[in-house]
Amino acid sequence: FQASRAASLLPQLLLRRRPAPAGAFALLARPASSASGGLPPLTTEIHPGIKRGAFSQLTDADLSAFEAIVGGDHVIKDADEVLSYNIDWLRICRGQGQLVLRPKTTEEVSAIVRHCNKRRLAVVPQGGNTGLVGGSVPLFDEIVISTSRMNSLLSIDPVSGVLVAEAGCVLEQLDREAASQGLMMPLDLGAKGSCQIGGNLATNAGGLRLLRYGSLRGTTLGLEAVLPTGQVLDCLTTLRKDNTGYDIKQLLIGSEGTLGIITKAAILCPARPKSVQLAFLGLDSFQAVLDTYRLARRSLGEILSAFEFIDSESMRAVKQNLGLSCPLGEHSFYVLAETSGSNETHDREKLDGFIESVMSMDGCATDGTVAQDAGQFAHLWSLRERIVESLLVDGYEYKYDVSLPLADIYRLVEHMRTRLDGRVIRTAGYGHLGDGNLHLNFTTPKFDAKVLELIEPHVFDWVRDRRGSVSAEHGLGLKKSQYIRHSKADFAVRVMAEVKRLLDPNGIMNPYKVLPDE
């Protein structure tokens, strides 16, 4: 075991940690070059039961109206350019959208949406298009409204820690700006190099820091949004305490673009840690993973900032498909335990004590290392963050994001591995153990309807029967909308539908997503 400490790690290494998966931009920019060679099937071919809503068809008069609002250069009609906006990052969804609009201001978004609502033209809000449940791309011919040009940082208050930005700001860029003031974004994702803060809020993205900093529902102080009628909802407060009436912004957070388009946000940023340490452990049973997490909570306490687990199949994928090297030997499971604090001596002592305890406990970690510099730090995190990318190399990926009681998390992986034995290339499980979030993945050379039938709805039924959630952090989008009642009571779903009808009477805002088709 390498007991060397990460003494040379600087706070700035957080700017380099967890980059967007290598190749992510290529996948978005060149959708025709998939691992299986060609375009993914149309989403309507995979879900033939979904019928186009009673929306209007795009006309030349509509194009003229949009050009008057955003300018001709930002009305994208070319089929090749539009194609990348129709395909999701996982390359499992392909819509039939014919038009992309790229507004620069809230006023332009409002004018676009007002026109679409009047004409009953369906729209899809789209940020960095890094979603994983088909929520950010069209299904039929919905108009894509991209927030990419709305990318201004409006203010940072170094005293209060409040950052105000437009929705199209890329998460990694915001984190760089926050770092200049000794702050950090409370959210950290593998796709931080391309995802946008508006989309993060719309999906209530969780990520790797939730264990320490909580969800966006708690760190978002205010937001501005354009509602489906074109009206601008101004709730852009920067106050930490505002107990006046209903907290309407919470309706928009996690609504996945079905209730409006978020245009600005005020985020409370924590102080950037001066000391960051990372331990990487090898374990030979999932019970050992649970025991190690319990010990980490007790030993590391307030400085524990991430606790991730990786199973052997996930590790095998990053090694075989991406050529990454693992510094440890073969193990059934691996754990990344990260600490973030303000006193390096204090944090090192705590981490050393944790490592000593976990290595001396019977049935716990049997191997491990500690990052000694920024390069090792980044490499260890890449073993976790590039798993999704590595699985895509297999061909087609069936991806599930669920919450379960900790004792049940890996039982689901084992159950599905037995159920799909011989029918898939691999069954892989990894995730955020600190918040009970499992990422369950299956791969085949190409889409296989019979494999999908074995997975769905069985995996959702299994989660429901153990009072879990069918979506921990990715949202429902198109892929899971019909399973919302597996996690929400029928009356709660009816209330959601009433809210949708109230705010979006014509149903134009991201149709076919989140709520079931009834």
- At residue 36, does pLDDT exceed 60? no
- Here the tokens at position 153 are 């940082």
Give the tens place of pLDDT for each residue, 231-260: 999 999 999 999 999 999 999 999 999 999
Partners of 337 in the β-ladder? 279, 307
User: Other CB atoms closer than 10 Å to residue 300's CB: what's the count?
Assistant: 22
Question: How many Å apart are CA 354 and CA 339, to the nearest integer?
Answer: 11
Instruction: Check whether 32 has a pLDDT greater than 70.
Output: no
- Give the residue from 469, 398, 365 showing the smallest Cα distance to 93: 398
Compute the half-sphere exposure of residue 319: CA atoms within 13 Å on the CB side of its CA: 13
pTM of the predicted structure, to 2 decimals: 0.88
Determine the Cα–Cα distance for residues 19 and 6; give it in Å rounded to an integer: 20
Average pLDDT, the chain: 91
Which pair of tokens denotes residue 477? 């989008």
pLDDT category of residue 74 using cuts at 50, 70 and 90? very high
Token code pair at residue 322: 């991406």
Distance of alpha carbon 292 from alpha carbon 286, whole angstroms: 10
Location of structure tokens 């009305």: 75
Instruction: For the chain, list the domains and their CATH numbers.
Output: 43-146 (3.30.43.10), 153-268 (3.30.465.10), 275-466 (3.30.70.2190)
For residue 87, give the nearest of 129, 35, 53 by alpha carbon. 129
At residue 346, the pLDDT reads 92
Is 308 within 8 Å of 409 (Cβ atoms)?
no
CB atoms within 10 A of CB 241: 6
Task: Please tell me the number of Cα atoms within 13 Å of 332 on its side-chain side.
Answer: 14
The Cα 42–Cα 35 span in angstroms is 17
What percent of the chain has pLDDT above 90? 84
As to burial, measured by CB atoms within 10 angstroms (0-12 exposed, 13-18 middle, 19+ buried), residue 422 is: exposed
Q: What pLDDT is recorded for position 13?
A: 38
Q: Please, where are the H alpha helices in 73-193?
A: 79-86, 106-119, 171-179
**pLDDT single digits (tens) 138-162:** 999 999 999 999 999 999 999 999 9
pLDDT, tens digit (0-9, with 9 covering 90-100), for 104-137: 999 999 999 999 999 999 999 999 999 989 999 9
Q: According to the model, what pLDDT value does residue 37 have?
A: 53
Q: Residue 472 has what DSSP assignment?
A: S
pLDDT of residue 207: 85
pLDDT tens, position by position, 215-233 = 999 999 999 999 999 999 9
Tell me the backbone φ, ψ of residue 414, rounded to 5 degrees.
-65, -40
The helix (run of H) or strand (run of E) holding residue 359 is helix 344-360
Q: Quote the percentage of the chain above a pLDDT of 70.
A: 93
Rounded Cα distance between 309 and 150, Å, is: 36
pLDDT digits (tens, 9 = 90+) for 406-455: 999 999 999 999 999 999 999 999 999 989 999 999 999 999 999 999 99
Note the Cα 317 to chain centre separation in Å: 21
CB neighbourhood size of 48 (10 A): 9
| SS3 at position 109 | helix
